[in-house]
Structure formats: structure tokens, C-alpha cells
Amino acid sequence: MVSMRRFGWLFAAGLCHAPACSSTCVDDGAVFNQSLEACMTAGITASATEGSETDASESESDGPTMTAPTEGSATEGSATEGSNSNSNSNSNSNSESATITGGDGGSWCEDKDGDGFGDPANCVPSEPGEDPPAGFVPNDDDCDDGDEHTFPGAAPNDDPEACMTDADGDDWGDNTPTDPDAVPGTDCDDDDASTFPGSAEVEDPSKCMKDEDGDGWGDSSVDDGVDGGSDCYDSNADINPGDRVLYTATDNGEFLAIDTATGDLDVFASVDIGPLAPPYAVITCAISPIDATIYCSQSAKQILIVVDYCSGDTPIELADHGRSICGLGFLDDGTLYGVDSDGDELVTFDPGTGEVLGAKPLTVDGNGVNIQACGMAVDCVGERMLVTDGQNSRILSIDPETGEGTVVADIEEGQWNSVGLEFDPVSKQAFSNNGDRLFQIALDGSNNYMQLPELEQSINDLSYGPTCD
């Protein structure tokens, strides 16, 4: 086939004729003779000879189909109007377009990062019908051609068209992109696919939170710039503020749910303590942020026990540690701590064996603390260890590296002799008790507190744990 680029067919001017059995064609002004068959091979249909009709003629050639009018042909008043020939008007043929339009109206632009969008600063002209150079694309829409995560529509949840950066692939745009030409999005941590606006949809459908375990609650311990949530156990979907119970453990193996609004205590789970040699006396419990294992202090034997109250199985007894433990608590890294009320020390345990790994004296302002009754909890929002000093009815924040305490709440309620302590990440306050008296206490240094309805009975412990289906 002779291409359009090779021959400038000017059929409208009548420069290609077909008298008798030959045709005269023009190539850039040069006239030469060809047989009719040769002209037809070149993509010219010379069907409209004297007395012929071109009505509804149709060509499927790659090049444009030309009707060459001759003297006496049916051009005037003929049925050529509305024909299906492959002309530039109303063409229904399968011919390819002779022009490829690039992003700059006839140009190809380099796509160094391979994201399908071209660099507007590095474009080359395109010729009709030419293939693009290697690594070039027919648009100039990329605002950062050095980053495959930055391109128009990268963050469709923010904007399906804007040129944004989405490095973590969560479909939300980085709110502080490194390239000034990229449009800022609303993702407060574009390096973490579990952090974006509305990730913790149960807690807040719009705030930019982290929800690693996908339970709809935001991680309580987050980096700057990320909205903190109320989930202290964001690596375990089975433990969150929507699936938890404030409980106390009893010496008969029962676990009682505490209703802070009424003071009611209701059995919701129990364990089989029959195989355990009496006495069985539980003082305090804590749950691991790593695997949700519950540990309790069995004070009668001075050991730790592992409890699965939802299964009802017999607790597992660990090593004899020889300490009088009045409080237990886990830090976020899984380190288990306890308070020894006899030695007035902060003790570190091996969760695997229950053995003591180390101990530090508890102090406030450099002076020792005489803790005779205590409770222990972890403020997972403020990332601090809390201990109730029952003799002084105050709550201390303890530095686990040194054992030094700082007073965060000082309640004028006299000496507390039966003490539990738990942190509520939703209200960001603490629950503590003195026997059957229950308090909600602010931890901001204001010393504000509220006494809640009296409990049905005196208890030793306050802990949050999972509900049981």
C-alpha cells in the first residue's frame, strides 16, 4: 500500500484521472502514467467512470478511499452523499488515525518513574503514526517524575484527579509531601497503610488515626501528627474499648463485671481452681498487650498464675517468686512489672517463667515510699506506669528505669487499705477503689475526682479484660 505520507492525493482537484485503461497521478507536482490497476493498488478507487454509480460504495483499505470523478461521471446529483466510503466525512472504515496526540498536543513526555505519567519538562515532538521513544508516554501530567508514588489520581480517596503522593498505598494523599508541586492530602502518616482519615471508623469516622488490628478503634500510643485513639492493644482485635469489661477477681475463681454507674458486681466468667491446692487468693491481674494473656498474683503462694477466664480452664501456676505483690502491670513492649508491698520495690518479671528479673526501690523526691497497699495500671495514652500509694491515697507515675515516682493525683480521702487501680483510655482518667468505695480520678495534676456509687462488696482489684462470647 502506498502511504498517504508518500502521496498527497488531491482527488477534489481532479488530479488523478482514469481515461480508458490508464490513470494519470500526481506526486508533488510530478505527472506520470500508471495502469488503473496500479492506481487501485495505491489505494485509489476509480469506480466512478462514465455512467457508473458510486451509491453506497465502501472500501476497507488502510488508506483513505478516493472517488476519482471523470467527465460525465455521476457526481452532480449522484447518490454519493451519505456514502460509507472511508473519507474524512462520516467514515465508518477501520483505518487508523494518522495523528497521535501527546500530552503537549503532539508530543511525547519522559516517564522516568514508570507511573504512566510524563514529565512536562522533558517532552519531544511526535510525528503522526510514529511510535513513542522508549520510556515516553503521551501526556505531561506528572508533578514529580522522580517518585512512582506521586501522580494524578494516586490518592483517589482524597481526590481522584489531583497529583498527590501515596507512598503507603492506602489511597490517601500525604499531607506533607516532600515535593512542593504535589498537592497535599489528608494522610497524617503516609508510611503506614493502617493510618489514614477514618481508619478507626468506630471511634471516629473522620480523624486521622492508626488502626493496626482493624477493629475500628484507634491506637492510643501514636507518633506526633497522628490523632490518638482509645485502643491500648492495637495489635489485638479482640481487645478494644468496644469489647472490654472492668472486672475484679475473687478468691473462689470467679470474675465479676463492675458496673461503675450502679456499683453492681455480676459474675461473667470463672476458672476451675479445684486442682489447685488451697488457699487460692488473687490480689491483682494484668493483661499482656502482646498476646492478651492474663496474669494474676496469687498472694497466698507468692506466685504468678496465667488465667484464661473465658475458657474456664484451671490457671497455670508459675515459679515461686517469694514477693508480696499488690499490683501488676504491662508496658507496651510486653515487660511485666509488679509492686512488692513488703520491700517497697518495683519488680520486673519474666512472663514466661514468673521469676523475678530485677527490682528497684520506689521513691518520691528521692525519699523511699512505704507502700502497704497498692494498685497498679498503665496509662497507655501518656505511656506511663501508674501506682496507687494506698497509705497516702495518691497516684504516682513511676519511671521504670529508676523507680522514681511523681505525684499525678493526691486525693484527700485518708488511708486506703484495699486498693485497685485501672486506667480508662476513653475518659483518660483512672478508676481506683478503697474497699467498696469507687472513685474516678483525673490524672492531670488537678486532683479532681468523683466518688461513684458504692460497690456491692469490698474488692482488691480493678482490671480491664475482654468480654467472653
The pLDDT, as a whole number, for residue 86 is 35
Q: How far apart are CA 279 and CA 275, in angstroms?
A: 11
* Domain end residue (candidates: 60, 87, 114): 87
Domain that holds residue 45: 1-87
Least confident range from 101-105, 237-241, 340-344: namely 101-105
The answer on pLDDT for 269 being more than 80 is: yes
pLDDT above 70 covers a percentage of the chain that reads: 78
Asked if the structure places residue 19 within a domain, the reply is: yes
The pLDDT, as a whole number, for residue 61 is 38
The answer on pLDDT for 64 being more than 70 is: no
H/E run at residue 33: strand 30-35
Average pLDDT over residues 1-22: 35
Asked if the structure places residue 55 within a domain, the reply is: yes
Give residue 44's pLDDT band: very low, low, confident or very high (50, 70, 90). Answer: very low
* Other beta carbons within 10 Å of 269: 22
Asked if the structure places residue 169 within a domain, the reply is: no
Give residue 166's pLDDT band: very low, low, confident or very high (50, 70, 90). Answer: very high
The answer on pLDDT for 329 being more than 60 is: yes
| Amino acid making up residue 358 | G
* Other beta carbons within 10 Å of 160: 11
The answer on pLDDT for 67 being more than 70 is: no
Give yes or no for a contact between 53 and 67, defined as CB atoms under 8 angstroms apart: no
Q: How far is CA 148 from the centre of its chain?
A: 19
- Count of domains for the chain: 2
Mean pLDDT for the chain overall = 82
* Domain end residue (candidates: 72, 87, 102): 87
The answer on pLDDT for 121 being more than 80 is: yes
Q: Is the C-alpha dihedral spanning 449, 453, 458, 460 positive or negative?
A: negative
Give residue 414's pLDDT band: very low, low, confident or very high (50, 70, 90). Answer: confident
* Other beta carbons within 10 Å of 419: 31
DSSP 86: S
The pLDDT, as a whole number, for residue 29 is 37
* Other beta carbons within 10 Å of 456: 15
Give yes or no for a contact between 426 and 373, defined as CB atoms under 8 angstroms apart: no
- Distance from first CA to last CA of the chain, Å, rounded? 78
Asked if the structure places residue 273 within a domain, the reply is: yes
Whole-angstrom CA distances from 320 to 250, 306, 323, 396, 448 are 21, 13, 8, 28, 40
* Domain end residue (candidates: 43, 71, 87): 87
Q: How far apart are CA 444 and CA 424, in angstroms?
A: 14
The answer on pLDDT for 60 being more than 50 is: no
Give yes or no for a contact between 247 and 254, defined as CB atoms under 8 angstroms apart: no
Select from 341, 351, 343, 445 the least CA-distant residue to 388. 341
Asked if the structure places residue 261 within a domain, the reply is: yes
The answer on pLDDT for 21 being more than 90 is: no
Q: How far apart are CA 337 and CA 376, in angstroms?
A: 9
Average pLDDT over residues 264-273: 97
| Amino acid making up residue 37 | E
Asked if the structure places residue 113 within a domain, the reply is: no
Give residue 412's pLDDT band: very low, low, confident or very high (50, 70, 90). Answer: confident
Asked if the structure places residue 327 within a domain, the reply is: yes
CATH number at residue 307: 2.120.10.30
The pLDDT, as a whole number, for residue 31 is 35
Give residue 238's pLDDT band: very low, low, confident or very high (50, 70, 90). Answer: confident
pTM given for the model: 0.71
Phi, psi of 41 (to 5 degrees): -65, -30
The pLDDT, as a whole number, for residue 418 is 85
Asked if the structure places residue 291 within a domain, the reply is: yes
Select from 213, 443, 428, 231 the least CA-distant residue to 332. 231
**31-68 b/e with 16+ CB inside 10 Å = b?**
eeebebeebbebbbbbbbbeeeebeebebebebbbbbb
